[in-house]
């Protein structure tokens, strides 16, 4: 027989009175690391180098039929994108940011082409009787869309090579 005062009945914790409640959610995580000063500087250097490269080769080889000049321009453009991919790997940036490099390269190329051509009727760039504004504008969009995967692939290649080189250094 109990000798003390009776304890109040214990309230059960399960199930809660309002039904089941999920556990608290973890804070949302982003697959983009926040950009720091070095990242903006790296992308700015990329944009500057690509602008100088595109403008120089457009001015020099715009009406040239020399395929070697075109191949040299493409090789330098591709090496610049590979270098940007290596920079991203060294900075330990996320893979999704390869798209940023491809987009910068493609949009700059399209913009430089759009700025460098002369859309006036009868000019060396526009052989038709009317102005070529619309066709050059649509052509710039097509250039950007078609070159985006190529430049992105070059940046991804640079990132993969840099990461593989870093793993090989750690193991051997």
Query: Does residue 72 have a pLDDT over 80?
Result: yes
DSSP symbols for 118-161: --STTSSS--SSS--HHHHHHHHHHHHHHHHHHHHHHHHHHHHH
Query: Does residue 63 have a pLDDT over 90?
Result: no
When the pLDDT of each residue in the chain is averaged and rounded to a whole number, the result is 77
pLDDT at 41: 81
Between 4 and 74, residue with greater pLDDT:
74
Q: Is residue 5 part of a domain?
A: no
Query: Does residue 30 have a pLDDT over 60?
Result: no
Q: Is residue 83 part of a domain?
A: yes
Q: Is residue 23 part of a domain?
A: no
The range of the structural domain enclosing residue 50 comes to 37-171
The DSSP output letter for 95 is: G
Between 21 and 111, residue with greater pLDDT:
111
Number of domains composing the chain = 1
Q: Is residue 19 part of a domain?
A: no
Cis peptide before 13 (omega within 30 of 0): no
d(CA 74, CA 71): 5
d(CA 50, CA 107): 10
Q: Is residue 11 part of a domain?
A: no
Q: Is residue 166 part of a domain?
A: yes
Q: What is the pLDDT of residues 88-142, one digit of tens each?
A: 777 776 677 788 888 888 998 888 888 887 777 777 777 767 677 777 788 889 9
The whole-model pTM stands at: 0.68
Q: Is residue 29 part of a domain?
A: no
How many H-runs (helices) and E-runs (strands) does the chain carry?
4, 0
Q: Is residue 138 part of a domain?
A: yes
pLDDT at 149: 93
Q: Name residues whose C-beta falls within 8 Å of residue 108's C-beta, 6 or more positions apart in sequence.
A: 47, 50, 51, 54
Nearest to 58 by CA among 77, 44, 84, 43: 77
Nearest 5 degrees, angle CA 96-CA 40-CA 166?
55
């Amino acid at each position: 027989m109990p000798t003390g005062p009776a304890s109040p009945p214990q309230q059960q914790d399960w199930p809660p009175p309002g039904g089941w409640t999920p556990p608290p959610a973890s804070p949302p995580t982003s697959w983009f690391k926040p950009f720091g000063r070095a990242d903006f500087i790296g992308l700015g250097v990329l944009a500057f180098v690509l602008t100088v490269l595109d403008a120089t080769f457009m001015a020099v080889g715009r009406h040239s039929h020399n395929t070697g000049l075109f191949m040299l321009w493409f090789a330098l453009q591709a090496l610049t994108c590979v270098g940007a991919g290596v920079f991203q790997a060294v900075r330990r940036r996320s893979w999704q940011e390869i798209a940023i490099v491809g987009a910068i390269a493609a949009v700059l190329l399209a913009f430089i082409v759009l700025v460098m051509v002369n859309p006036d009727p009868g000019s060396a760039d526009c052989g038709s009787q009317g102005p070529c504004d619309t066709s050059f504008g649509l052509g710039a969009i097509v250039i950007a869309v078609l070159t985006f995967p190529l430049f992105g692939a070059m940046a991804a290649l640079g990132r993969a090579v840099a990461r593989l080189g870093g793993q090989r250094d750690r193991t051997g």
